[in-house]
């Protein structure tokens, strides 16, 4: 049971759905031994009761690890974690450098990897990560999260946070234009745009904000349809004949041409757009709630609807943006790392209740969704049981193979989108992007 004290903490802090892809300090440079002078990356130690973990975000991943450590120490008092925190980019760079050297020394016991990047690591470094499917109940986790860490029939990840998306909405602006939050449930992107045009005409408030170089909104659209911008092999570009991708370009341009899209150029401007009341909807990952709720004056004026779906049969009103999983490096002795992760992140219902209360971590662990913490009614979101809704949508997210080239192809498509917005023919834009992606292979 969750105490009254913890429910008060939930009201004060669980709304802080901090981005699991946040940045920490430090750098990823070094010579690969994990202990160079000025090197912020430490490898596994000789202490048989200590595990080294590489991760990012001191307010999210690190706190969850510290809470898991305390739980595990109840039965294993000599156990300790050496949590090495750097930016996600530095973790990726250092892990690549260490693994490509072929030298085991300097690697951690455990590492967090963003789901979009996991297929590249699993394909590029065969044998470097430990299969885990025999150690925990894979069926307890959302299928799309397990899929991100599956390679050649083996499951290498224990899923952590869900990047489940929601359409964050200013309900007071909707009501001013004669709509309610229910009008945004179970709708298509076409309907979303039509409502947005009407709301904009009546209120003068931008319907959505986006950075033309950020294709997160398109990743949301594609995963809702169960496809990505690579073929099933995870490598071959899937652009020209990709109908959901084509539709995502068309939806985006339609919103821009209709004048309902505010355009921002950096993260701070993104936050300012809704904190200042300059935008009605924010369709994105649930981690955005940390930034939305920091504007306390808007409490009671927000709600969360399911994400719109594409007007194609395969698409659903659920998707994902971001999120990470936990991996065990295939070192000589893995028993402690496996037991620690399986006992906490892999099976502990109360642990997932606790991290929801303390840091707002919406996990992909299905048994936890029936817990009391998920029934919390958020005052900021008009009394809505937001965690229960997000947990329900998590189970509906289509499984996709992110492939090995998510960010490489995204860079190409980002330029293609801006060409299309500028007036170029869509067929030509997509064909050129396909050729560029193929030539870069």
Q: Are residues 244 and 200 in the same domain?
A: yes
276: left (phi over 0), alpha (psi -120 to 50) or beta: alpha
- Residues 278, 347: one domain? no
Q: Is 242 left (phi over 0), alpha (psi -120 to 50) or beta?
A: beta
What CATH number did the domain enclosing 429 receive? 3.40.190.10
| 338 lies in the same domain as 300 | no
pLDDT tens-digit map of 285-299: 998 998 899 999 999
Q: What is the pLDDT of residue 46?
A: 92
Same domain, 159 and 170: no
Q: What is the spatial distance between Cα 151 and Cα 344, in angstroms, rounded to a whole number?
A: 23
**Confidence (pLDDT) at 78:** 97
User: What mean pLDDT comes out for the span 8-24?
Assistant: 38
Beta bridge partners of 154: 151
The answer to whether position 97 is within a domain reads yes
Query: Do residue 159 and residue 169 come from a single domain?
Result: no
Whether residue 16 lies inside any domain: the answer is: no
Per-residue pLDDT tens for 45-81? 999 999 999 999 998 999 999 999 999 999 999 999 9
- Strand ranges, E, within 314-416: 324-328
Neighbour-count burial for 216-246, b at 16+ CB within 10 Å, e otherwise:
bbbbbbbbbbbbbbbeeebeebbbeebebbb
117 shares a domain with 200: no
Helix axes 216-224, 406-421, angle to 10 degrees: 110
- State pLDDT tens for residues 410-436: 999 999 999 999 999 999 999 999 999
- What DSSP element (H or E) covers 113? strand 110-114
Any residues with CB less than 8 A from the CB of 152 and at least 6 apart, and which? none
- The whole-number pLDDT of residue 39 equals 65
Nearest to 292 by CA among 58, 102, 15, 31: 15
Do 33 and 100 lie in a common domain? yes
Average pLDDT over the chain reads 90
Please list, in sequence order, all residues whose beta carbon lies within 8 angstroms of the beta carbon of residue 298, skipping any fewer than 6 positions away.
170, 275, 277, 292, 380
Residue 2 pLDDT > 90: no
pLDDT above 60 for 34: no
Number of domains in the chain: 2
Tokens, residue 423: 């007036």
User: For residue 15, is it within any domain?
Assistant: no
Domain membership of residue 31 (yes or no) is yes
pTM: 0.85
User: Is residue 17 one of the residues assigned to a domain?
Assistant: no
Length of the chain, in residues: 441
Strands 157-159 and 165-170: unpaired
| Percentage of the residues of the chain whose pLDDT score is greater than 70 | 91
Task: Tell me the per-residue pLDDT of 217-249, one tens digit each, with 9 for 90 and over.
Answer: 999 999 999 999 999 888 999 999 999 999 999
What's residue 108's pLDDT? 97
Query: How many CB atoms within 10 Å of residue 80?
Result: 15
The C-alpha atoms of residue 109 and residue 124 are separated, in whole angstroms, by 19
How many Cβ atoms sit within 10 Å of the Cβ of residue 191?
15
| Residue 328, phi then psi, degrees to nearest 5 | -105, 125
Q: Based on the fold, state whether residues 77 and 132 are members of the same structural domain.
A: yes
Q: Domain for residue 42, yes or no?
A: yes
Q: Choose between 139 and 23: higher pLDDT.
A: 139
Between vectors from CA 314 to CA 308 and to CA 319, what angle results, nearest 5°? 45
Has residue 259 been placed in a domain? yes
Least confident of 146-155, 191-200, 315-324, 368-377: 368-377
**Contact call for residues 321 and 116 (beta carbons, < 8 A):** no
d(CA 328, CA 130): 6
Secondary-structure breakdown of the chain: helix, strand, coil percentages, each rounded to the nearest 5: 45, 15, 40
Q: What is the pLDDT of residue 105?
A: 85
Strands ordered across the beta sheet of 165-170: 281-285, 165-170, 302-305
CA distance 306 to 164: 10
**Dihedral angle over CA of 101, 107, 109, 115, nearest 10:** -60
Decide: 417 and 212 in contact? Cβ < 8 Å: yes
Domain range for residue 77? 4-10+22-163+323-394
Does residue 140 sit in the same domain as residue 44? yes
Say yes or no: 285 and 423 in one domain. yes
Residue 41 lies in a domain: yes
Torsion of CA 291, 292, 295, 297, to 10 degrees: -170
Q: Quick one: 427 and 340 in the same domain?
A: no
User: What mean pLDDT comes out for the span 210-216?
Assistant: 94
| 18, pLDDT greater than 70 | no
Shortest CA distance to 167 belongs to which of 316, 392, 319?
Answer: 319
For residues 216 and 89, membership in a common domain is answered with no
Q: What pLDDT shows up at residue 8?
A: 37
> Terminus-to-terminus CA distance in the chain, angstroms?
53
Count of CB atoms situated within 10 Å of the CB of 42 = 15
């Amino acid at each position: 049971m969750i105490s009254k004290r913890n429910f008060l903490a939930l009201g004060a802090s669980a709304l802080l759905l901090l981005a699991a892809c946040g940045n920490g300090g430090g750098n990823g440079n070094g010579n690969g031994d994990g202990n160079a002078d000025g090197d912020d990356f430490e490898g596994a130690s000789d202490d048989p009761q200590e595990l080294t973990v590489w991760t990012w975000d001191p307010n999210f991943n690190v706190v969850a690890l510290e809470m898991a450590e305390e739980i595990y120490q109840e039965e294993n008092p000599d156990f300790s974690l050496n949590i090495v925190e750097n930016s996600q980019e530095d973790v990726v760079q250092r892990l690549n450098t260490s693994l490509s050297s072929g030298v085991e020394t300097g690697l951690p016991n455990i590492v967090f990897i963003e789901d979009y990047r996991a297929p590249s690591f699993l394909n590029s470094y065969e044998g470097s990560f430990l299969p885990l499917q025999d150690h925990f109940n894979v069926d307890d986790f959302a299928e799309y999260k397990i899929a991100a860490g599956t390679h050649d029939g083996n499951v290498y990840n224990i899923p952590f946070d869900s990047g489940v998306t929601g359409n964050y909405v200013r309900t007071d602006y909707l009501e001013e234009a004669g709509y309610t939050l229910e009008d945004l449930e179970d709708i298509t992107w076409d309907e979303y745009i039509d409502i947005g045009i009407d709301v904009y005409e009546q209120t003068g408030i931008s319907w959505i904000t986006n950075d033309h170089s950020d294709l997160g909104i398109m990743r949301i659209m594609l995963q809702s349809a169960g496809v990505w911008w690579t073929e099933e092999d995870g490598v071959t570009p899937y652009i020209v004949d990709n109908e959901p991708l084509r539709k995502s370009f068309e939806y985006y341009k339609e919103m821009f041409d209709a004048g309902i899209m505010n355009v921002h150029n950096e993260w701070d401007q993104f936050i300012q757009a809704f904190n200042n009341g300059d935008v009605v909807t924010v369709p994105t990952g649930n981690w955005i709630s940390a930034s939305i709720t920091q504007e306390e004056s808007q409490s009671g004026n927000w709600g969360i609807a399911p994400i719109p779906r594409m007007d194609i049969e395969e698409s659903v009103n659920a998707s994902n943006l971001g999120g990470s999983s936990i991996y065990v490096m295939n070192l000589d002795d893995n028993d402690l790392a496996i037991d620690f992760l399986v006992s906490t992140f892999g099976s502990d219902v109360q642990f997932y209740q606790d991290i929801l209360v303390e840091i707002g971590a919406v996990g992909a662990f299905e048994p936890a969704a029936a817990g009391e913490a998920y029934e919390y009614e958020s005052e900021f979101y008009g009394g809505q049981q937001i965690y229960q809704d997000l947990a329900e949508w998590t189970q509906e997210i289509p499984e996709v193979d992110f492939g090995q080239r998510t960010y490489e192809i995204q860079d190409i498509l980002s330029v293609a989108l801006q060409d299309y917005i500028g007036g170029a023919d869509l067929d030509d834009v997509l064909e050129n992007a396909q050729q560029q992606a193929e030539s870069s292979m």
